[in-house]
Amino acid sequence: MIKVYVPKDSSARAMGADEIVDAINAEAAAQEIDIVIVRNGSRGLAWLEPLVEVETPKGRIAFGPVSAADVKSLFGSKFYESSSHPLSLGVTDELPFLKNQERLTFARCGITDPLSIADYTSHGGFAGLTKSLNMKGSDIVAEVTNSGLRGRGGAGFPTGIKWKTVHDAKASQKYVCCNADEGDSGSFADRMVMEGDPFMLIEGMTIAGIAVGASMGYIYIRSEYPDAISTMKDAIRIATTANWLGNNIQGSAHSFSLEVRRGAGAYICGEETSMLESLEGKRGMVRPKPPIPALQGLFGMPTIINNVLSFAAVPYVMAEGSEAYKNCGMGRSRGTLPFQLAGNIKQGGLVEKAFGITLRELVEDFGGGTATGRPVRAIQVGGPLGSYLPVSQLDLPMDYETFAANGAMVGHGGVVVFDDSVDMARQARFAMEFCSIESCGKCTPCRIGSTRGVETIDKIVADVERQKNLALLDDLCQTMTDGSLCAMGGLTPMPVQSALKHFPEDFNRPAKMFAAE
């Protein structure tokens, strides 16, 4: 029997993976070859998707990017026993893009069948939870604190401190909530975890539940991720049947249940308090802080809210020890970050590396430059609320503090590359426009400021009292930064002001009106 891997990750499906599965099955049946197809997660080499792999004694051999039309010739070259086909890439693990990574969180993704508990456990899964089941909650919290893990959603708040606050709170009920509302353009690592290694998220959340004494957890997944939603629901059902969730997990005294909740297309629900409102079935209006969610969160109870990648890092920390995790990284940014190379990039995909790697290494060495072959002009790091960086800042090391000191943010590790055809005034306008579309409306600087921002940028571009309007835009950005309730309004000025600072020439061209959108 020959084992062939065709990813079920939505990036592979988007490039025709389902059609390839049908074609392989049909051809195998016609030629009476015994082939079994595993729908794995993505290995993260998005430009090679669909990446088809064959299991051989030498290891897995990759072919890509494969289209359904290639299947006949793959069989013609006996791809299941020979790597002579022109699409052959050799042994997958030897591909430099993968070989040069430090995959702790993404160690299993793309290798296992995402919904096989046997695969998961045979690749180190549930080792961290098994250990945690016999530990005191405070010891788990101490281990996570010592690892130096900081919130991977973008804010970078120390995870252990958050957990300790919930641990120390006295309440009849506590909750663990996973923020899987990965709305930032250029980020897809959460999606890859949920589609490719869902038990890891379940394990991380269960450890959190045990650590703080919470028996119930929710995963809030954006509705734009239908595949992630269905995989997570299946994984929860399978884990519950296998008693890795539910009552008396693996015979212990600990119980923990999980439920998936769907978002409904509101970007703001990625903000933690807005997400809580949404989880309670309400409009996603931002709550003022304090009280902090760790003390009064979901339904007013102490609640851990972490990003998918934060929870996903925990099983490794618990299994291998906090020192192992802490040993990589730089400064106060410990461990690894799964970076996401996106946009106009030749070799896009997922690159997990220790903090400290430079933007240049990511974009040039891993990414291979732009997809269009034109020079890189701007890079937006950290999503729609992150700065646009010019090429002169390519040598910045990825580290929370270094980026902050340079008026930028690492955020969730999304890296979107633009070539020299980009119009930065248009990008700045879009940042304001996006904020006006997605603002929850609770606070004035965000709700009205974003609309005024669009108008003001239009005037600047149209050369209507340009200097006056530039001063006005600057003032508006200051008001939004200082006066907004949450990061949506507070950080929208980042892309706008970075575009103005690094690419002023785009705002000083002869008058031009934007085409109506």
Partner 1 sequence: MSEKRILIELRAPKHDAASRIAARYDNKPDALLEILHDLQHEVGYVPEAALPVLANALNLSRAEVHGVVTFYHDFRRKPAGRHVVKVCKAEACQSVAGNELVAAAEKSLNIKFGETTPNGAVTLEAVYCLGLCATAPAILVDERPVGRVSPEKFKAIAAELAS
Options 98, 345, 381, 488; binder of partner 1; rule CB under 8 A? 345
Q: Which span sits near partner 1 by CB under 8 A: 240-248, 279-287, 302-310, 447-455?
A: 279-287
Strand ordering across the sheet containing 303-307: 257-262, 216-221, 175-180, 303-307
Min separation Cβ 44 and partner 1, Å: 9
Q: Is 337 in the site for partner 1 (CB under 8 A)?
A: no
Query: DSSP code of 413?
Result: -
Number of H helices, E strands in the chain: 21, 16
Burial 467-481 (b: 16+ CB within 10 A, else e): eebbebbeebbebbb
Residue with tokens 């309440």: 171
Are 196 and 239 in contact by the 8 Å Cβ rule? The answer is no
> Phi and psi for 362 in degrees, rounded to 5?
-65, -50
Options 78, 99, 282, 501; binder of partner 1; rule CB under 8 A? 282
Min separation Cβ 118 and partner 1, Å: 28
Indicate the residue among 160 and 302 with the shorter CB distance to partner 1: 302
Min separation Cβ 485 and partner 1, Å: 16
Q: Does residue 65 have a cis bond before it (omega within 30 degrees)?
A: yes
Q: Which span sits near partner 1 by CB under 8 A: 165-173, 321-329, 338-346, 480-488?
A: 338-346
Min separation Cβ 65 and partner 1, Å: 10
Are 349 and 341 in contact by the 8 Å Cβ rule? The answer is yes
Q: Is 418 in the site for partner 1 (CB under 8 A)?
A: yes
Min separation Cβ 153 and partner 1, Å: 15
Rounded CA gap, 159 and 354, in Å? 17
Indicate the residue among 421 and 508 with the shorter CB distance to partner 1: 421
Give the three-class secondary structure for 318: helix
Taking residues 203 to 232 in sequence order and writing x for each that binds partner 1 by CB under 8 A, - otherwise, the string is --------------------xxxxxx----
Can you list the alpha helix ranges (DSSP code H) found in 94-158?
96-99, 117-122, 127-133, 137-147
Q: Is 284 in the site for partner 1 (CB under 8 A)?
A: yes
Helical pair 198-212 and 226-241, crossing angle rounded to 10 deg: 60
Options 263, 329, 445, 493; binder of partner 1; rule CB under 8 A? 263
Residues 419-478 that bind partner 1 (CB under 8 A): 419, 422, 427, 430, 434, 437-438, 440
Rounded CA gap, 161 and 147, in Å? 11
Taking residues 161 to 200 in sequence order and writing x for each that binds partner 1 by CB under 8 A, - otherwise, the string is ---------------------xxxxxxx-xx---------
Give the three-class secondary structure for 91: strand
SS3 content of the chain, % helix, strand, coil (to 5): 45, 15, 40
Min separation Cβ 478 and partner 1, Å: 24
Q: Is 103 in the site for partner 1 (CB under 8 A)?
A: no
Nearest to 190 by CA among 236, 238, 154, 157: 154
Indicate the residue among 310 and 340 with the shorter CB distance to partner 1: 340
Q: Are strands 414-419 and 376-381 parallel, antiparallel or unpaired?
A: antiparallel
Q: Which span sits near partner 1 by CB under 8 A: 29-37, 46-54, 105-113, 129-137?
A: 46-54
Min separation Cβ 342 and partner 1, Å: 3
# residues contacting partner 1 (CB under 8 A): 63
Rounded CA gap, 455 and 470, in Å? 12
Enclosing H/E stretch for 68:
none
138, amino acid identity: S
Are 516 and 441 in contact by the 8 Å Cβ rule? The answer is no
Q: Is 202 in the site for partner 1 (CB under 8 A)?
A: no
Min separation Cβ 34 and partner 1, Å: 30
Rounded CA gap, 118 and 362, in Å? 34
Options 93, 234, 280, 323; binder of partner 1; rule CB under 8 A? 280
Q: Which span sits near partner 1 by CB under 8 A: 27-35, 165-173, 334-342, 398-406?
A: 334-342
Min separation Cβ 277 and partner 1, Å: 10
Q: Is 303 in the site for partner 1 (CB under 8 A)?
A: no
Strands (E), 244-311: 257-262, 303-307
| Residue ranges that bind partner 1, judged by CB under 8 A | 10-11, 13-15, 46-47, 49, 182-188, 190-191, 223-228, 261-267, 278-284, 299, 340-345, 348-349, 371-372, 380, 384, 414, 416-419, 422, 427, 430, 434, 437-438, 440, 517
